[in-house]
Chain A
Amino acid sequence: MVDKPEVSESALQTLAIAGDAQAFGKLIRTYDHDLRGAVYNITRSANDLDDIMQKSYEKAFKSVSNFNARSSMKTWLYTICTRQAIDHLRYEGRRDHDEIDGSHDSTEGSNSPESATLSKMACDEVLQDLDPETRAMLVFTTALGFSFDETAEIMESQRGTVASKVGRAKKKLRDRYSQAGEDS
Protein backbone atom coordinates (compact mmCIF):
# COMPACT_ATOMS: atom_id res chain seq x y z
CA MET A 1 0.00 0.00 0.00
CA VAL A 2 1.49 3.34 -1.04
CA ASP A 3 1.78 5.88 1.76
CA LYS A 4 -0.63 8.74 1.29
CA PRO A 5 0.32 12.36 1.89
CA GLU A 6 -0.46 13.80 5.30
CA VAL A 7 -4.06 14.90 5.37
CA SER A 8 -6.34 16.49 7.92
CA GLU A 9 -8.73 14.53 10.08
CA SER A 10 -11.68 15.58 7.95
CA ALA A 11 -9.86 14.47 4.81
CA LEU A 12 -8.96 11.18 6.46
CA GLN A 13 -12.61 10.82 7.34
CA THR A 14 -13.65 11.35 3.75
CA LEU A 15 -11.13 8.83 2.53
CA ALA A 16 -12.30 6.39 5.19
CA ILE A 17 -15.90 6.81 4.10
CA ALA A 18 -14.77 5.97 0.59
CA GLY A 19 -13.43 2.67 1.92
CA ASP A 20 -9.75 3.49 2.38
CA ALA A 21 -8.46 1.06 4.99
CA GLN A 22 -5.32 3.05 5.70
CA ALA A 23 -7.26 6.25 6.36
CA PHE A 24 -9.75 4.44 8.57
CA GLY A 25 -6.88 2.81 10.44
CA LYS A 26 -5.29 6.19 11.13
CA LEU A 27 -8.58 7.55 12.40
CA ILE A 28 -9.23 4.75 14.84
CA ARG A 29 -5.68 4.96 16.14
CA THR A 30 -6.50 8.54 17.05
CA TYR A 31 -9.72 7.62 18.80
CA ASP A 32 -8.78 4.22 20.22
CA HIS A 33 -7.66 5.31 23.69
CA ASP A 34 -10.96 7.04 24.46
CA LEU A 35 -13.11 4.38 22.81
CA ARG A 36 -11.22 1.62 24.54
CA GLY A 37 -11.59 3.32 27.90
CA ALA A 38 -15.33 3.65 27.49
CA VAL A 39 -15.75 0.03 26.45
CA TYR A 40 -13.61 -1.21 29.31
CA ASN A 41 -15.61 0.71 31.87
CA ILE A 42 -18.86 -0.61 30.44
CA THR A 43 -17.77 -4.24 30.30
CA ARG A 44 -15.04 -4.41 32.99
CA SER A 45 -13.60 -7.23 30.95
CA ALA A 46 -9.87 -7.01 30.31
CA ASN A 47 -9.76 -10.39 28.61
CA ASP A 48 -12.42 -9.56 26.05
CA LEU A 49 -11.50 -5.93 25.48
CA ASP A 50 -9.27 -6.39 22.43
CA ASP A 51 -11.80 -8.69 20.86
CA ILE A 52 -14.66 -6.25 21.40
CA MET A 53 -12.66 -3.38 19.95
CA GLN A 54 -11.58 -5.38 16.92
CA LYS A 55 -15.14 -6.49 16.20
CA SER A 56 -16.33 -2.92 16.62
CA TYR A 57 -13.79 -1.55 14.16
CA GLU A 58 -14.53 -4.30 11.69
CA LYS A 59 -18.25 -3.54 11.83
CA ALA A 60 -17.60 0.16 11.57
CA PHE A 61 -15.39 -0.17 8.50
CA LYS A 62 -17.86 -2.44 6.78
CA SER A 63 -20.59 0.16 7.17
CA VAL A 64 -18.47 3.32 7.01
CA SER A 65 -19.72 4.17 3.53
CA ASN A 66 -23.13 4.78 5.04
CA PHE A 67 -21.82 7.12 7.72
CA ASN A 68 -24.03 10.15 7.21
CA ALA A 69 -21.95 12.87 8.89
CA ARG A 70 -24.88 13.96 11.02
CA SER A 71 -22.63 13.28 13.97
CA SER A 72 -18.85 13.22 14.23
CA MET A 73 -17.11 10.03 13.26
CA LYS A 74 -15.83 9.66 16.80
CA THR A 75 -19.38 9.84 18.13
CA TRP A 76 -20.44 7.31 15.54
CA LEU A 77 -17.61 5.01 16.61
CA TYR A 78 -18.62 5.46 20.26
CA THR A 79 -22.08 4.26 19.24
CA ILE A 80 -20.78 1.15 17.50
CA CYS A 81 -18.30 0.29 20.25
CA THR A 82 -20.91 0.83 22.97
CA ARG A 83 -23.40 -1.35 21.15
CA GLN A 84 -20.79 -4.05 20.73
CA ALA A 85 -19.94 -3.81 24.43
CA ILE A 86 -23.58 -4.07 25.46
CA ASP A 87 -24.14 -6.98 23.09
CA HIS A 88 -21.11 -8.66 24.59
CA LEU A 89 -22.49 -8.27 28.10
CA ARG A 90 -25.85 -9.62 27.06
CA TYR A 91 -24.25 -12.54 25.27
CA GLU A 92 -21.98 -13.34 28.14
CA GLY A 93 -24.74 -12.81 30.65
CA ARG A 94 -22.47 -11.02 33.00
CA ARG A 95 -21.93 -7.46 34.03
CA ASP A 96 -19.00 -7.76 36.32
CA HIS A 97 -15.57 -9.25 36.04
CA ASP A 98 -12.74 -10.07 38.30
CA GLU A 99 -10.06 -8.59 36.07
CA ILE A 100 -10.71 -5.01 37.11
CA ASP A 101 -7.48 -3.09 37.23
CA GLY A 102 -6.55 -3.31 40.89
CA SER A 103 -3.98 -0.56 40.69
CA HIS A 104 -6.62 2.10 40.22
CA ASP A 105 -7.46 4.02 43.36
CA SER A 106 -11.21 3.99 43.21
CA THR A 107 -11.61 5.64 46.61
CA GLU A 108 -10.00 8.91 45.65
CA GLY A 109 -11.87 12.00 46.78
CA SER A 110 -13.22 10.40 49.91
CA ASN A 111 -13.26 12.30 53.17
CA SER A 112 -12.50 9.43 55.53
CA PRO A 113 -11.51 5.78 55.27
CA GLU A 114 -14.86 4.73 56.68
CA SER A 115 -16.99 6.78 54.31
CA ALA A 116 -14.67 5.81 51.47
CA THR A 117 -15.25 2.15 52.19
CA LEU A 118 -19.00 2.68 52.36
CA SER A 119 -19.16 4.71 49.16
CA LYS A 120 -16.99 2.23 47.27
CA MET A 121 -19.12 -0.65 48.52
CA ALA A 122 -22.30 1.14 47.52
CA CYS A 123 -20.89 1.94 44.07
CA ASP A 124 -19.72 -1.61 43.48
CA GLU A 125 -23.06 -3.07 44.48
CA VAL A 126 -25.15 -0.63 42.49
CA LEU A 127 -22.97 -0.83 39.38
CA GLN A 128 -23.07 -4.58 39.50
CA ASP A 129 -26.86 -4.55 39.42
CA LEU A 130 -27.27 -2.01 36.63
CA ASP A 131 -28.38 -3.06 33.18
CA PRO A 132 -25.71 -2.56 30.48
CA GLU A 133 -27.41 0.46 28.89
CA THR A 134 -27.68 2.38 32.15
CA ARG A 135 -24.13 1.51 33.01
CA ALA A 136 -22.98 2.83 29.65
CA MET A 137 -24.98 6.01 30.19
CA LEU A 138 -23.31 6.49 33.56
CA VAL A 139 -19.89 6.00 31.99
CA PHE A 140 -20.56 8.70 29.43
CA THR A 141 -22.25 11.21 31.72
CA THR A 142 -20.40 10.70 35.00
CA ALA A 143 -16.94 9.54 34.01
CA LEU A 144 -16.39 10.99 30.54
CA GLY A 145 -18.30 14.22 31.06
CA PHE A 146 -20.66 13.95 28.12
CA SER A 147 -23.92 15.86 28.32
CA PHE A 148 -27.26 14.08 28.33
CA ASP A 149 -27.76 15.19 24.74
CA GLU A 150 -24.38 13.83 23.65
CA THR A 151 -24.97 10.59 25.53
CA ALA A 152 -28.40 10.23 23.96
CA GLU A 153 -26.82 10.65 20.54
CA ILE A 154 -24.20 8.01 21.25
CA MET A 155 -26.72 5.62 22.78
CA GLU A 156 -29.26 6.37 20.05
CA SER A 157 -31.74 7.19 22.76
CA GLN A 158 -33.67 10.22 23.96
CA ARG A 159 -32.31 12.87 26.27
CA GLY A 160 -35.16 12.27 28.72
CA THR A 161 -34.45 8.56 28.78
CA VAL A 162 -30.80 9.15 29.56
CA ALA A 163 -31.59 11.69 32.27
CA SER A 164 -34.18 9.41 33.81
CA LYS A 165 -31.98 6.30 33.85
CA VAL A 166 -28.95 8.17 35.17
CA GLY A 167 -31.07 9.86 37.81
CA ARG A 168 -32.58 6.59 38.96
CA ALA A 169 -29.17 4.94 39.13
CA LYS A 170 -27.78 7.77 41.22
CA LYS A 171 -30.80 7.72 43.53
CA LYS A 172 -30.28 4.01 43.95
CA LEU A 173 -26.67 4.66 44.79
CA ARG A 174 -27.56 7.29 47.38
CA ASP A 175 -30.16 5.01 48.94
CA ARG A 176 -27.70 2.16 49.07
CA TYR A 177 -25.08 4.40 50.63
CA SER A 178 -27.52 5.63 53.26
CA GLN A 179 -28.57 2.09 54.05
CA ALA A 180 -24.95 0.97 54.34
CA GLY A 181 -24.29 3.84 56.74
CA GLU A 182 -27.21 2.88 58.93
CA ASP A 183 -26.21 -0.79 58.91
CA SER A 184 -22.70 0.02 60.00
Chain B
Amino acid sequence: MSNPEELETVELAEELELQLAASLSLEAPAPSEDYWSSIESTLIAIEAADTDEDDLVAVGPGLAAMGQQKSGLTKALFGTAAGLMLLALGGVWLFQSDGFLTGDEDTTESAVAAGQAEVFEEVARQAEAESFIADNSATEAAEESSDESFDDFAADLEESTEAKDLALSLEEFDWFNAINSSKNLVSDETFNKVRVSSADGLLELNDYAIYRFSTDEGVTGRVVLASTGLAAKATVYDPTGEELAADIDFVDFETTQPGEHYLVIDIADPTDLEGTSEPIEFGLSLQLN
Protein backbone atom coordinates (compact mmCIF):
# COMPACT_ATOMS: atom_id res chain seq x y z
CA MET B 1 0.00 0.00 0.00
CA SER B 2 2.98 2.29 -0.17
CA ASN B 3 2.62 2.88 -3.87
CA PRO B 4 0.77 6.18 -4.43
CA GLU B 5 -0.93 4.77 -7.52
CA GLU B 6 -2.28 1.85 -5.51
CA LEU B 7 -3.55 4.26 -2.89
CA GLU B 8 -5.26 6.30 -5.56
CA THR B 9 -6.78 3.17 -7.08
CA VAL B 10 -8.22 2.06 -3.74
CA GLU B 11 -9.52 5.56 -3.13
CA LEU B 12 -11.31 5.58 -6.46
CA ALA B 13 -12.74 2.15 -5.94
CA GLU B 14 -14.07 3.10 -2.54
CA GLU B 15 -15.61 6.25 -3.91
CA LEU B 16 -17.23 4.29 -6.67
CA GLU B 17 -18.45 1.73 -4.19
CA LEU B 18 -20.05 4.50 -2.16
CA GLN B 19 -21.55 6.09 -5.21
CA LEU B 20 -22.83 2.75 -6.45
CA ALA B 21 -24.36 1.94 -3.09
CA ALA B 22 -25.94 5.38 -2.97
CA SER B 23 -27.33 4.98 -6.48
CA LEU B 24 -28.86 1.65 -5.49
CA SER B 25 -30.19 2.70 -2.08
CA LEU B 26 -32.83 5.18 -3.10
CA GLU B 27 -35.69 5.49 -0.66
CA ALA B 28 -38.81 3.99 -2.14
CA PRO B 29 -41.77 6.33 -2.42
CA ALA B 30 -44.53 5.88 0.13
CA PRO B 31 -47.33 3.57 -0.91
CA SER B 32 -50.66 4.90 -2.02
CA GLU B 33 -53.46 5.33 0.52
CA ASP B 34 -55.31 2.22 -0.59
CA TYR B 35 -52.16 0.10 -0.86
CA TRP B 36 -52.76 -2.02 2.24
CA SER B 37 -56.52 -2.16 1.96
CA SER B 38 -56.17 -3.41 -1.59
CA ILE B 39 -53.62 -6.04 -0.61
CA GLU B 40 -55.61 -7.24 2.37
CA SER B 41 -58.85 -7.49 0.45
CA THR B 42 -57.03 -9.52 -2.20
CA LEU B 43 -55.57 -11.85 0.43
CA ILE B 44 -58.95 -12.34 2.07
CA ALA B 45 -60.53 -13.09 -1.30
CA ILE B 46 -57.86 -15.71 -2.01
CA GLU B 47 -58.33 -17.23 1.43
CA ALA B 48 -62.10 -17.36 0.96
CA ALA B 49 -61.74 -18.95 -2.46
CA ASP B 50 -59.41 -21.60 -1.09
CA THR B 51 -61.74 -22.33 1.79
CA ASP B 52 -64.70 -22.73 -0.52
CA GLU B 53 -62.94 -24.88 -3.06
CA ASP B 54 -60.66 -26.98 -0.94
CA ASP B 55 -62.07 -29.93 0.93
CA LEU B 56 -58.76 -30.58 2.61
CA VAL B 57 -58.92 -27.66 5.00
CA ALA B 58 -60.93 -29.65 7.50
CA VAL B 59 -58.53 -32.57 7.62
CA GLY B 60 -56.05 -31.32 10.17
CA PRO B 61 -53.24 -28.85 10.71
CA GLY B 62 -50.71 -30.73 8.61
CA LEU B 63 -52.87 -31.43 5.65
CA ALA B 64 -54.64 -28.12 5.93
CA ALA B 65 -51.30 -26.56 5.16
CA MET B 66 -51.41 -28.25 1.81
CA GLY B 67 -54.57 -26.40 0.79
CA GLN B 68 -54.44 -25.24 -2.79
CA GLN B 69 -56.65 -25.13 -5.81
CA LYS B 70 -57.96 -28.61 -6.37
CA SER B 71 -56.96 -28.69 -9.97
CA GLY B 72 -55.55 -32.20 -9.78
CA LEU B 73 -58.96 -33.80 -9.78
CA THR B 74 -59.76 -32.50 -13.21
CA LYS B 75 -56.53 -33.54 -14.83
CA ALA B 76 -56.72 -35.73 -17.88
CA LEU B 77 -55.72 -39.30 -17.19
CA PHE B 78 -52.96 -40.50 -19.37
CA GLY B 79 -49.74 -42.42 -19.13
CA THR B 80 -46.40 -41.79 -20.72
CA ALA B 81 -43.21 -43.68 -21.16
CA ALA B 82 -41.42 -40.90 -19.32
CA GLY B 83 -43.46 -41.56 -16.23
CA LEU B 84 -42.50 -45.19 -16.28
CA MET B 85 -38.87 -44.18 -16.78
CA LEU B 86 -39.06 -42.05 -13.69
CA LEU B 87 -40.63 -44.86 -11.77
CA ALA B 88 -37.92 -47.23 -12.94
CA LEU B 89 -35.35 -44.71 -11.78
CA GLY B 90 -37.08 -44.59 -8.42
CA GLY B 91 -36.91 -48.36 -8.29
CA VAL B 92 -33.21 -48.33 -9.02
CA TRP B 93 -32.68 -45.85 -6.19
CA LEU B 94 -34.77 -47.99 -3.93
CA PHE B 95 -32.87 -51.18 -4.46
CA GLN B 96 -29.36 -49.81 -4.97
CA SER B 97 -29.45 -47.53 -1.97
CA ASP B 98 -27.34 -48.72 0.95
CA GLY B 99 -29.89 -47.22 3.23
CA PHE B 100 -32.82 -49.09 1.74
CA LEU B 101 -33.61 -50.94 4.93
CA THR B 102 -31.85 -48.81 7.49
CA GLY B 103 -32.51 -45.30 6.20
CA ASP B 104 -29.91 -42.64 5.47
CA GLU B 105 -29.45 -39.79 7.89
CA ASP B 106 -29.80 -36.34 6.43
CA THR B 107 -29.10 -34.02 9.29
CA THR B 108 -30.08 -30.85 7.45
CA GLU B 109 -33.45 -32.16 6.40
CA SER B 110 -34.01 -33.70 9.80
CA ALA B 111 -33.26 -30.35 11.37
CA VAL B 112 -35.73 -28.65 9.05
CA ALA B 113 -38.37 -31.24 9.81
CA ALA B 114 -37.72 -30.89 13.52
CA GLY B 115 -37.91 -27.13 13.23
CA GLN B 116 -41.23 -27.32 11.48
CA ALA B 117 -42.54 -29.64 14.17
CA GLU B 118 -41.42 -27.13 16.79
CA VAL B 119 -43.23 -24.37 14.96
CA PHE B 120 -46.43 -26.37 15.01
CA GLU B 121 -45.97 -26.96 18.71
CA GLU B 122 -45.36 -23.27 19.28
CA VAL B 123 -48.50 -22.33 17.43
CA ALA B 124 -50.42 -24.89 19.39
CA ARG B 125 -49.21 -23.28 22.59
CA GLN B 126 -49.69 -19.68 21.60
CA ALA B 127 -52.88 -19.89 19.60
CA GLU B 128 -54.53 -22.63 21.55
CA ALA B 129 -57.88 -20.95 21.48
CA GLU B 130 -58.02 -20.95 17.75
CA SER B 131 -59.97 -23.66 16.08
CA PHE B 132 -57.24 -24.04 13.52
CA ILE B 133 -54.93 -25.66 16.05
CA ALA B 134 -56.47 -28.70 17.65
CA ASP B 135 -55.70 -29.35 21.28
CA ASN B 136 -55.25 -32.80 22.73
CA SER B 137 -58.90 -33.35 23.38
CA ALA B 138 -59.72 -32.40 19.82
CA THR B 139 -57.03 -34.50 18.25
CA GLU B 140 -59.09 -37.66 18.20
CA ALA B 141 -62.00 -35.78 16.72
CA ALA B 142 -59.67 -34.33 14.13
CA GLU B 143 -58.47 -37.82 13.34
CA GLU B 144 -62.01 -39.03 12.89
CA SER B 145 -62.97 -36.00 10.89
CA SER B 146 -59.92 -36.65 8.76
CA ASP B 147 -61.25 -40.02 7.69
CA GLU B 148 -64.77 -38.68 7.39
CA SER B 149 -63.59 -35.78 5.28
CA PHE B 150 -61.80 -38.06 2.91
CA ASP B 151 -64.72 -40.46 2.83
CA ASP B 152 -67.10 -37.59 2.06
CA PHE B 153 -64.64 -36.36 -0.47
CA ALA B 154 -64.54 -39.75 -2.17
CA ALA B 155 -68.34 -40.01 -2.04
CA ASP B 156 -68.67 -36.64 -3.72
CA LEU B 157 -66.23 -37.72 -6.33
CA GLU B 158 -68.19 -40.80 -7.21
CA GLU B 159 -71.22 -38.69 -7.95
CA SER B 160 -69.45 -36.63 -10.52
CA THR B 161 -68.66 -37.51 -14.11
CA GLU B 162 -65.04 -36.72 -13.55
CA ALA B 163 -65.01 -39.04 -10.61
CA LYS B 164 -66.18 -41.94 -12.73
CA ASP B 165 -63.20 -41.46 -14.98
CA LEU B 166 -60.93 -40.98 -12.02
CA ALA B 167 -62.23 -44.01 -10.21
CA LEU B 168 -61.21 -46.19 -13.13
CA SER B 169 -57.63 -45.16 -12.64
CA LEU B 170 -57.42 -45.62 -8.91
CA GLU B 171 -56.77 -49.15 -7.87
CA GLU B 172 -57.14 -49.72 -4.17
CA PHE B 173 -55.00 -52.08 -2.19
CA ASP B 174 -55.44 -53.29 1.34
CA TRP B 175 -53.01 -50.89 2.91
CA PHE B 176 -52.17 -48.29 0.30
CA ASN B 177 -54.52 -46.38 -1.93
CA ALA B 178 -54.77 -43.15 -3.83
CA ILE B 179 -57.18 -40.50 -2.66
CA ASN B 180 -56.31 -37.96 -5.27
CA SER B 181 -53.98 -38.69 -8.13
CA SER B 182 -54.03 -37.96 -11.80
CA LYS B 183 -52.60 -41.39 -12.50
CA ASN B 184 -52.75 -44.80 -11.00
CA LEU B 185 -51.02 -47.10 -8.62
CA VAL B 186 -48.89 -49.47 -10.58
CA SER B 187 -47.80 -52.19 -8.20
CA ASP B 188 -48.13 -53.52 -4.70
CA GLU B 189 -45.74 -56.22 -3.58
CA THR B 190 -44.34 -57.77 -0.44
CA PHE B 191 -40.69 -58.82 -0.34
CA ASN B 192 -39.50 -60.63 2.77
CA LYS B 193 -42.27 -59.04 4.82
CA VAL B 194 -41.33 -55.60 3.54
CA ARG B 195 -44.37 -54.00 1.95
CA VAL B 196 -43.63 -52.01 -1.19
CA SER B 197 -46.15 -50.09 -3.22
CA SER B 198 -45.58 -47.89 -6.23
CA ALA B 199 -47.46 -45.14 -7.97
CA ASP B 200 -46.87 -42.47 -10.53
CA GLY B 201 -48.64 -39.31 -11.54
CA LEU B 202 -48.65 -35.83 -12.97
CA LEU B 203 -48.49 -32.52 -11.19
CA GLU B 204 -49.04 -28.99 -12.34
CA LEU B 205 -48.53 -25.75 -10.48
CA ASN B 206 -50.56 -25.73 -7.24
CA ASP B 207 -51.43 -29.35 -7.79
CA TYR B 208 -50.93 -32.34 -5.53
CA ALA B 209 -51.54 -36.03 -5.20
CA ILE B 210 -52.52 -37.73 -1.95
CA TYR B 211 -52.11 -41.37 -0.99
CA ARG B 212 -53.30 -43.02 2.20
CA PHE B 213 -51.69 -45.99 3.86
CA SER B 214 -52.37 -47.94 7.03
CA THR B 215 -49.64 -48.98 9.38
CA ASP B 216 -48.79 -49.65 13.00
CA GLU B 217 -46.82 -47.63 15.50
CA GLY B 218 -43.02 -47.87 15.38
CA VAL B 219 -42.82 -48.86 11.73
CA THR B 220 -39.97 -47.41 9.69
CA GLY B 221 -40.72 -46.38 6.15
CA ARG B 222 -39.12 -44.84 3.15
CA VAL B 223 -40.57 -43.04 0.18
CA VAL B 224 -38.43 -42.94 -2.93
CA LEU B 225 -39.59 -40.15 -5.19
CA ALA B 226 -38.41 -39.42 -8.71
CA SER B 227 -39.74 -36.44 -10.59
CA THR B 228 -38.99 -34.27 -13.58
CA GLY B 229 -36.16 -32.00 -12.53
CA LEU B 230 -36.67 -33.12 -8.91
CA ALA B 231 -39.46 -30.57 -8.84
CA ALA B 232 -41.83 -32.66 -6.72
CA LYS B 233 -41.75 -33.10 -2.97
CA ALA B 234 -43.10 -35.92 -0.84
CA THR B 235 -44.48 -35.29 2.65
CA VAL B 236 -45.65 -37.96 5.07
CA TYR B 237 -48.28 -37.09 7.68
CA ASP B 238 -49.44 -39.13 10.65
CA PRO B 239 -53.14 -39.73 11.46
CA THR B 240 -53.40 -36.38 13.27
CA GLY B 241 -52.02 -34.43 10.34
CA GLU B 242 -48.60 -33.98 11.94
CA GLU B 243 -45.80 -33.95 9.40
CA LEU B 244 -43.39 -36.84 9.89
CA ALA B 245 -40.89 -36.12 7.12
CA ALA B 246 -40.56 -34.44 3.74
CA ASP B 247 -38.02 -34.36 0.93
CA ILE B 248 -37.67 -34.31 -2.81
CA ASP B 249 -36.11 -37.74 -3.26
CA PHE B 250 -35.77 -40.00 -0.20
CA VAL B 251 -38.16 -39.55 2.70
CA ASP B 252 -37.34 -41.67 5.74
CA PHE B 253 -39.79 -41.74 8.61
CA GLU B 254 -40.91 -43.73 11.61
CA THR B 255 -44.52 -43.90 12.64
CA THR B 256 -45.40 -42.85 16.16
CA GLN B 257 -48.94 -44.15 16.22
CA PRO B 258 -51.09 -46.65 14.36
CA GLY B 259 -53.68 -45.66 11.80
CA GLU B 260 -54.15 -44.00 8.47
CA HIS B 261 -51.13 -42.07 7.31
CA TYR B 262 -51.00 -39.79 4.34
CA LEU B 263 -48.43 -39.25 1.64
CA VAL B 264 -48.77 -35.95 -0.21
CA ILE B 265 -46.87 -35.22 -3.40
CA ASP B 266 -46.73 -31.60 -4.46
CA ILE B 267 -44.45 -29.11 -6.15
CA ALA B 268 -41.39 -28.36 -4.01
CA ASP B 269 -41.00 -24.77 -5.11
CA PRO B 270 -43.90 -23.42 -7.16
CA THR B 271 -41.95 -20.31 -8.12
CA ASP B 272 -39.79 -22.57 -10.30
CA LEU B 273 -42.82 -23.50 -12.40
CA GLU B 274 -44.42 -20.13 -12.82
CA GLY B 275 -45.02 -19.47 -16.47
CA THR B 276 -44.62 -23.09 -17.48
CA SER B 277 -47.45 -25.28 -18.67
CA GLU B 278 -45.70 -28.64 -18.81
CA PRO B 279 -46.82 -30.94 -16.00
CA ILE B 280 -44.28 -32.56 -13.69
CA GLU B 281 -44.19 -36.33 -13.86
CA PHE B 282 -43.36 -38.32 -10.81
CA GLY B 283 -42.96 -41.90 -9.76
CA LEU B 284 -42.77 -43.13 -6.22
CA SER B 285 -42.26 -46.22 -4.15
CA LEU B 286 -43.33 -46.53 -0.54
CA GLN B 287 -41.86 -49.31 1.52
CA LEU B 288 -42.67 -50.14 5.14
CA ASN B 289 -40.52 -52.45 7.23
Q: Interface of A with B (CB < 8 Å)? A: 1, 4-5, 7-8, 10-11, 13-15, 17-21, 24-25, 28-29, 32-33, 36-37, 39-41, 44, 46, 49-50, 53-54, 57-59, 61-63, 65-66, 68-70, 79-80, 83, 100-101, 104-111, 115-116, 119-120, 122-124, 127, 138-139, 142-144, 156, 170, 173-174, 177
Contacts and interface: CB of A to CB of B under 8 A. Distances in A.
Contact of B50 (A17, A19, A116): A19
B65 A105 contact: no
Interface in B84-113: 112
A47 to B, nearest CB: 9
B28 A57 contact: no
Secondary structure type dominating chain A contacts:
helix
A30 B143 CA distance: 35
Nearest to A102: B26
Contact of B24 (A61, A127, A177): A127
The 6 closest A-B pairs by CB, nearest first: A109-B18, A40-B28, A143-B24, A21-B43, A21-B47, A119-B19
Given A14-B123, A28-B39, A109 B29 contact: no
A138 B122 CA distance: 37
Interface of B: 11-13, 15-29, 31-32, 35-36, 38-40, 42-44, 46-47, 50-51, 57, 61, 64-68, 112, 115-116, 119-120, 122-123, 126-127, 129-130, 132, 206, 233, 246, 266-272, 274
Nearest to B34: A50
B26 A54 contact: no
A124 B25 CA distance: 13
B23 A123 contact: yes
B15 A109 contact: yes
B67 to A, nearest CB: 5
